[in-house]
């Protein structure tokens, strides 16, 4: 499927082959790891329960980006107090990102030359949740995945006496302000050329991830009513850019914090008030909007008189949160359409936020995405003309993550083994979402969008956690993803993918030729993009 878009497999150059052969001659004999898949599976009962327990605690104690102190602390306590001596533990590795941590382990067989550096593989764990909707992106599962995979790999190095060094980094704030950017700039990923992780979603694919950047807008007017009108006068044309944006698969979604109040953080519920029309007019206007567009089939609204504002009609919109599309319009879309229609019928109508009718400052975010990093700026430039205030900032960008041809295929081959349930994973060109792991990989892409090279070799495997008997599979960031991410099935699937990553790590450390091929597309040093 769509394999033609797949980055070309880079051929081994003559110099690489010479280097590989030289490496082979010098290398200590490789361990026989033919029973590695079975061996890792046998380690499951020893390692899984503890890490599942930590993940469940994190699931029940969600923390948003940069405030993951509970997750950080229970992890540090586990390795420093409850199981000391397994790993070298560094809590709070960055002053500016105190919830990030690092674990290190080296296994050096007695016959390993003293001056010869150990091969290294890195693992990552995310742990942040979403404002208002908890672990609706399943990062507690990624916490378990990273620690479990690293611990299995560590045990295998000991059991097979394989020389190698493992690094595990707890990477905070994947969702909001790009924690891996801070870690990358601080050089935390420099140590290893290979970084492994996986992410739960509703299908299993090796696939790229899109570019993302947020425009964070603050609107300050003289009155609350003017502020609401100013915000919606921007939201209407931005929302109407759907399908007209430059780039590939581009979106500019108005998300989160429309208004300053928590009830609006999740787009499942949006509240808007209007003064001027009578209640029947408001009701009829929005009923007409709803019935004229099939995309609104699961989105609805109620109207009611406001107790405090004279003539005020509160409109409460309720619909699917998160990812709206032309066939799935949400509460915010309906509020934008309602504003447009009411304002057009009489420009003297006034609008307010029913939850707080005094604030004269409102904010909103435009989440801009497109497939390729080099087209990101075009999308931003298409949106900015509609931001009619200078009071905005651009967030840290999330570079697109590209498929790593060698490691992607190695993962597909590994997960197809019987020990992992003979899973058939496609390698697909469609980018379903964005990830800050783009900052770890730092792909360098040619103008024709073929991959020129990478800063680091990264696996970011997206795997399904929705059981086949489930009638609907809500996507990440929709509130109903959260219960999916707490099912036994989700932990079981995470366990398999994590174990496959452990196998890949051990194979790379054991086999200098595999490691050389896995790292051959690395272009010296990542670009320092700030």
- Provide the binding-site residues for ligand NAG, judged by CB under 6 A: 69-70, 73, 233, 236, 248-249, 260, 279-280, 283, 287, 298, 300, 303, 318, 340, 343-344, 347, 356, 358-359, 430, 467, 469, 488-489
Closest to ligand NAG by CB, 112 vs 261, is 261
Q: Which helix (H) or strand (E) holds 501?
A: helix 488-510
Closest to ligand NAG by CB, 248 vs 423, is 248
Closest CA to 520 of 407, 373, 402: 407
Closest to ligand NAG by CB, 106 vs 203, is 203
Closest to ligand NAG by CB, 350 vs 507, is 350
Closest CA to 443 of 211, 125, 101, 188: 211
Partners of residue 124 on adjacent β-strands: 169
Closest to ligand NAG by CB, 185 vs 480, is 480
- Residue 315, C-beta contacts closer than 8 angstroms, at least 6 positions apart: 271, 272, 273, 274, 282, 286, 301, 302, 303, 335, 338
Closest to ligand NAG by CB, 115 vs 488, is 488
Residue 372 near residue 186 (C-beta atoms within 8 A): no
Return d(Cα 89, Cα 295) in angstroms, integer.
51
Closest CA to 183 of 440, 495, 510, 479: 440
Cβ at position 314, least distance to ligand NAG in Å: 11
- Residue 22, C-beta contacts closer than 8 angstroms, at least 6 positions apart: none
Cβ at position 69, least distance to ligand NAG in Å: 4
- Residue 159, C-beta contacts closer than 8 angstroms, at least 6 positions apart: 39
Closest to ligand NAG by CB, 23 vs 302, is 302
Cβ at position 302, least distance to ligand NAG in Å: 7
Cβ at position 103, least distance to ligand NAG in Å: 17
State the residue for tokens 């005094």. Answer: 358
Strands (E), 234-268: 251-255
Residue 413 has a CB neighbour count (10 Å cut-off) of 12
Closest to ligand NAG by CB, 31 vs 303, is 303
Cβ at position 224, least distance to ligand NAG in Å: 9
Cβ at position 372, least distance to ligand NAG in Å: 11
Return d(Cα 346, Cα 60) in angstroms, integer.
48
Q: Supply 168's token pair.
A: 């595990």
Cβ at position 153, least distance to ligand NAG in Å: 27
Cβ at position 528, least distance to ligand NAG in Å: 31
């Amino acid at each position: 499927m769509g394999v033609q878009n797949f980055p070309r497999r880079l051929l081994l150059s003559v110099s690489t082959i010479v280097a590989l052969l030289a490496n082979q001659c010098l290398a200590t004999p490789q361990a026989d790891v033919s029973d590695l898949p079975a061996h890792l599976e046998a380690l499951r009962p020893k390692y899984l329960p503890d890490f599942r327990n930590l993940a469940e605690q994190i699931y029940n104690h969600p923390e948003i980006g940069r405030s993951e102190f509970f997750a950080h602390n229970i992890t540090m306590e586990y390795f420093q107090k409850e199981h000391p001596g397994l790993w070298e533990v560094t809590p709070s590795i960055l002053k500016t990102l105190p919830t990030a941590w690092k674990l290190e382990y080296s296994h050096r067989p007695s016959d390993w030359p003293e001056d010869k550096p150990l091969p290294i593989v890195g693992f990552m764990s995310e742990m942040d949740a979403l404002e208002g909707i908890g672990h609706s992106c399943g990062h507690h599962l990624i916490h378990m995945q990273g620690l479990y995979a690293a611990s299995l790999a560590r045990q295998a190095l000991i059991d097979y006496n394989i020389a190698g060094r493992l690094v595990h980094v707890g990477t905070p704030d994947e969702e909001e302000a790009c924690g891996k950017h801070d870690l990358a700039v601080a050089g935390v990923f420099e140590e290893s050329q290979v970084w492994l992780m996986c992410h739960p979603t509703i299908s299993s694919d090796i696939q790229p991830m899109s570019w993302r950047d947020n425009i964070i807008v603050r609107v300050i007017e003289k009155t609350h009513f003017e502020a609401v009108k100013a915000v919606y006068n921007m939201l209407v044309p931005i929302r109407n850019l759907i399908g007209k944006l430059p780039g590939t698969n581009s979106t500019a979604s108005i998300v989160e914090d429309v208004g300053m109040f928590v009830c609006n953080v999740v787009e499942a519920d949006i509240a808007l008030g209007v003064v001027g029309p009578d209640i029947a007019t408001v009701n009829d206007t929005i009923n007409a909007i709803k019935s004229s567009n099939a995309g609104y089939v699961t989105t609805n609204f109620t109207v009611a008189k406001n107790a405090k504002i004279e003539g005020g009609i509160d409109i409460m919109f309720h619909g699917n949160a998160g990812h709206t599309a032309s066939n799935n319009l949400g509460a915010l879309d309906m509020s934008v359409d309602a504003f447009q229609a009411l304002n057009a019928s009489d420009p003297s109508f006034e609008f307010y936020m029913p939850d707080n009718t005094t604030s004269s400052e409102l904010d909103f975010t435009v989440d801009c995405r497109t497939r390729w990093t080099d087209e990101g700026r075009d999308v931003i430039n298409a949106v900015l003309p509609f931001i009619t205030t200078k009071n905005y900032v651009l967030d840290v960008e999330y570079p697109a993550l590209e498929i790593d041809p060698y490691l992607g295929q190695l993962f597909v081959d590994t997960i197809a083994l019987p020990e992992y349930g003979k899973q058939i994973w496609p390698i697909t060109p469609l980018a379903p979402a964005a990830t800050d792991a783009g900052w770890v990989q730092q792909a360098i892409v040619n103008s024709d969008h073929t991959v020129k090279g990478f800063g680091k070799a990264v696996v970011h495997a997206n795997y399904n956690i929705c059981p086949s008997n489930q009638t609907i599979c809500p996507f990440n960031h929709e509130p109903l993803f959260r219960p999916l991410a707490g099912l036994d099935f989700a932990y079981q699937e995470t366990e398999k993918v994590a174990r496959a990553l452990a196998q890949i790590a051990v194979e790379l450390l054991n086999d200098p030729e595999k490691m050389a091929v896995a790292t051959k597309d690395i272009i010296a040093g990542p670009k320092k993009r700030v």
